[in-house]
Amino acid sequence: MQSLTLFVPDETAMTALGAQLATASRGHGTVFLEGDLGAGKTTLSRGIVRGFGHVGAVKSPTFTLVEPYELGAITLYHFDLYRLADPEELEFMGIRDYFDGNALCLVEWPRKGEGVLPKPDLTITISAHEQGRLVELRAGSSSGETWLGALAPVDQ
Ligand SMILES: Nc1ncnc2c1ncn2[C@@H]1O[C@H](COP(=O)(O)OP(=O)(O)OP(=O)(O)O)[C@@H](O)[C@H]1O
Ligand SMILES: [Mg+2]
């Protein structure tokens, strides 16, 4: 499946969708999270991180750019590139080591890293809709298509 759009009515449902994505991804790959300020990118990321059993806080790493998580056998990196001034800064961070295929990388504001970030397996675009959110998921690889196939029956 190439794409899927879901209506997600509230924060609880958003977190639950994150947990489903965690399971579908099996902890490997790259997910871009797009949408305006306050769209729900961090909320969905929190659901993914908690989906692997993390119980503590999940805050967006606005100032540090990346927050690493070791979740059992899974390594997850949560990026927030909102404050990235130049995509080249990612080169200085050693970006390739993060995206070596072993970890799951979640990237808020991926456009700030355009040209340096690798292609995502999944791009998620969140927009306000009524009291909730529309969440559009687009596969960018065969892995992403498999993830969407695993998600679809749950909500439809
Ligand atoms: N599906 C939803 N329906 C309604 N409200 C939601 C939903 N998902 C998240 N929210 C609410 O949206 C608000 C902003 O969420 P969040 O911080 O995740 O946005 P963000 O996209 O990460 O913003 P930023 O670009 O500033 O990092 C939170 O108050 C959260 O409760
Ligand atoms: Mg955020």
Domain edges within the chain = 3-149
State the average pLDDT over residues 52-64: 92
**By alpha-carbon position, which residue is closest to atom 23 of ligand 1?**
38
Question: Using 50, 70 and 90 to split pLDDT, how confident is the model at 156?
Answer: very low
132, 9 contact by CB (below 8 A): yes
CATH number of the 3-149 domain: 3.40.50.300
Q: Which of 118, 120, 106 is nearest to 18 (CA)?
A: 106
In the prediction, which pLDDT does 34 show? 98
Residue 150 has pLDDT above 60, yes or no: yes
What mean pLDDT comes out for the span 37-47? 98
Of the pLDDT bands very low, low, confident and very high (cuts 50, 70, 90), residue 121 is very high
- 101: alpha, beta or left, given left = phi > 0 and alpha = psi -120 to 50? left
Q: What is the pTM of this model?
A: 0.96
Q: What is the pLDDT of residue 1?
A: 85
Ligand at minimal distance from the CA of 38 is 1
Q: Does residue 155 have a pLDDT over 50?
A: no
Q: What residues flank ion ligand 2 with Cβ within 5 A?
A: 41-42, 60, 108
Whose tokens are 């979740």? That residue is 71
* Atom 24 of ligand 1: nearest residue by CA position: 37
pLDDT for residue 153 is more than 70:
no
Angle 11-25/41-51 helices, nearest 10 degrees? 50
Residue 83: its pLDDT value, please? 95
Q: What is the mean pLDDT of the chain?
A: 94
Residue 33 pLDDT? 98
